[in-house]
Amino acid sequence: MLRRFAERADAAGLPYAVTGAAASQLLGAPVLSQIIVSHIRVGPVQADSALHRLGLEHLDAEDAGRGMNLELWTDTGELGTFAARDVNGVRVAPPVRVWLDLARQGGRGADAAQLFREQVLERA
């Protein structure tokens, strides 16, 4: 799923970086057993404009179960996309950005952020 998104984004010339739990898995440090929604930072456009550029539709809550389960976040200031690196054909946000994005979600995300910090950031 993320590779298909990456191909569309690359074809559209849209800067992006996978972040959160999906990024941690791509970096070889899975922090959740199941990723329900993959978070992707896009810039320098608003997330709604990015959907249009990619030819994707915005799904209402009722329709979300049939979609790709991607949540696009506008990357204000290019905090995730600027130094993103390629991991198996998919651009991934820098590890510190991944950690911060996990932590900001609270709940399970905060627990996942702690695991990510221990597995990736403290070993660097």
Each domain of the chain, given as residue ranges in start order, spans: 1-121
Tens digits of per-residue pLDDT, 25-54?
A: 999 999 999 898 899 999 888 888 998 899
Name the 3-class secondary structure at 67: coil
| Residue 12: per-residue pLDDT | 94
pTM: 0.89
In total, the chain counts a number of residues equal to: 124
Q: Which conformational region is residue 9 in: left (phi greater than 0), alpha (psi within -120 to 50 degrees), or beta?
A: alpha
Greatest Cα pair distance, the chain, in angstroms, is 42
Residues of the chain with pLDDT under 50: none
Strands 16-19 and 38-42: antiparallel
| Residue 61: per-residue pLDDT | 53
CATH code that applies to domain 1-121: 3.30.460.40
**Secondary structure letter of residue 93 according to DSSP:** -
